[in-house]
Amino acid sequence: MRTVEWNYATSQFQMIDQRLLPGEFKVAVFDDYQEVAQAITDMVVRGAPAIGAAAAFGLALAAQQSAAKDAANLRADLIAASDYLKEARPTAVNLAWALDRILGATADIQGGADDLREAVLAEAQKIADEDVEINKRMAAHGAALIDDGDTVIHHCNTGALATVDWGTALGVIRMAHEQGKNIHVLVDETRPRLQGARLTAWELTQYGVPFDIISDNAAGSFLSSDQVQKAFVGSDRTAANGDVANKIGTYMLALAAHDNDVPFYAVVPTSTIDLSLASGEMIPIEERDPAEVLDLTLLGRQVSPKGASARNPAFDITPNRLVTGIVTENGVVYPPYTDNLRKAVNVTTS
Ligand code: MRU
- Nearest atom, ligand 1, residue 48 CA: 12
User: Which CATH number is 215's domain given?
Assistant: 3.40.50.10470
Residue 260 has pLDDT above 90, yes or no: yes
Write out pLDDT tens, residues 26-64.
Answer: 999 999 999 999 999 999 999 999 999 999 999 999 999
pLDDT band at 294 (very low <50, low <70, confident <90, very high): confident
Tens-digit pLDDT profile for residues 158-180 = 999 999 999 999 999 999 999 99
Strand partners, 30: 13
236 is catalytic: yes
pLDDT > 90 fraction of the chain, expressed in percent and rounded: 92
User: CB atoms < 10 A from the CB of 72, how many?
Assistant: 10
Site to substitute for ligand 1 among 97, 187, 216, 235, most atoms within 8 A of C-beta: 235
**Ligand 1 center to 247 CA (angstroms):** 6
In this prediction the pTM is 0.96
Of the three residues 135, 169, 202, the one that is the final residue of a domain is 135
Among 156, 187, 191, 203, residue to substitute to test ligand 1 (most atoms within 8 Å of Cβ): 156
Q: 153 and 115, same structural domain? A: no
The answer, yes or no, to whether residue 349 has pLDDT greater than 60, is: no
341 and 330 in one domain?
yes
Statement to judge: residues 333 and 284 lie in one domain = yes
Residue 219 pLDDT exceeds 70:
yes
Residue 166 sits in the same domain as residue 288: yes
Out of 165, 188, 236, 274, which one is annotated catalytic?
236
Q: Is 336 exposed, middle or buried (0-12, 13-18, 19+ CB in 10 A)?
A: exposed
Query: Does one domain contain both 227 and 322?
Result: yes
pLDDT > 70: percent of the chain: 97
User: Quick one: average pLDDT of 291-297?
Assistant: 80
Helix-, strand-, coil-residue percentages of the chain, each rounded to 5: 45, 15, 40
Residues 51 and 94: beta-carbon distance below 8 Å: yes
Strands 151-154 and 184-188: parallel
> Residue 305 has what pLDDT?
74
36 and 149 co-located in one domain:
no
Atom of ligand 1 nearest to the CA of 92: 12
pLDDT grade for 154, boundaries at 50, 70 and 90 = very high
State in Å: Cα 159 to ligand 1 middle. 9
47 lines ligand 1 (CB under 6 A): yes
pLDDT-based confidence at 252, cuts 50/70/90? very high
Q: Please report which confidence band the pLDDT of residue 232 belongs to, taking 50, 70 and 90 as the band edges.
A: very high
Q: Which of 88, 112, 135 is the last residue of a domain?
A: 135
Instruction: Indicate whether 192 and 92 sit together in one domain.
Output: no
pLDDT higher than 70, residue 319: yes
288 Cα–ligand 1 center, Å: 14
Indicate if ligand 1 lies below 6 Å from the C-beta of 195. yes
Same domain, 127 and 210: no
49 lines ligand 1 (CB under 6 A): yes
Same domain, 49 and 81: yes
Does ligand 1 have an atom closer than 6 angstroms to the CB of 238? no
Q: Flag whether pLDDT at 194 surpasses 90.
A: yes
Mutate to test the pocket of ligand 1, among 19, 236, 238 (most ligand atoms within 8 A of CB): 236
Statement to judge: residues 117 and 106 lie in one domain = yes
- The domain tally of the chain equals 2
Distance in angstroms (rounded) separating the CA atoms of residues 340 and 121: 34
Whether 207 and 78 share a structural domain: no
CATH number, position 108: 1.20.120.420
Average pLDDT over residues 183-194: 96
- pLDDT beyond 70 at 1: yes
| Domain that residue 285 falls in | 138-349
pLDDT at 299: 53
> Do 180 and 127 belong together in one domain?
no
Residue 274 reports pLDDT greater than 60: yes
pLDDT at 348 over 70: no
Domain final position from 94, 112, 135 = 135
Ligand 1 atom closest to 155 (CA)? 10
Distance 273 CA to ligand 1 centre (A): 14
Residue 297 pLDDT level (bands cut at 50, 70, 90): low
CB distance 169 to 158 below 8 Å: yes
Report the chain's mean pLDDT, rounded to a whole number.
96
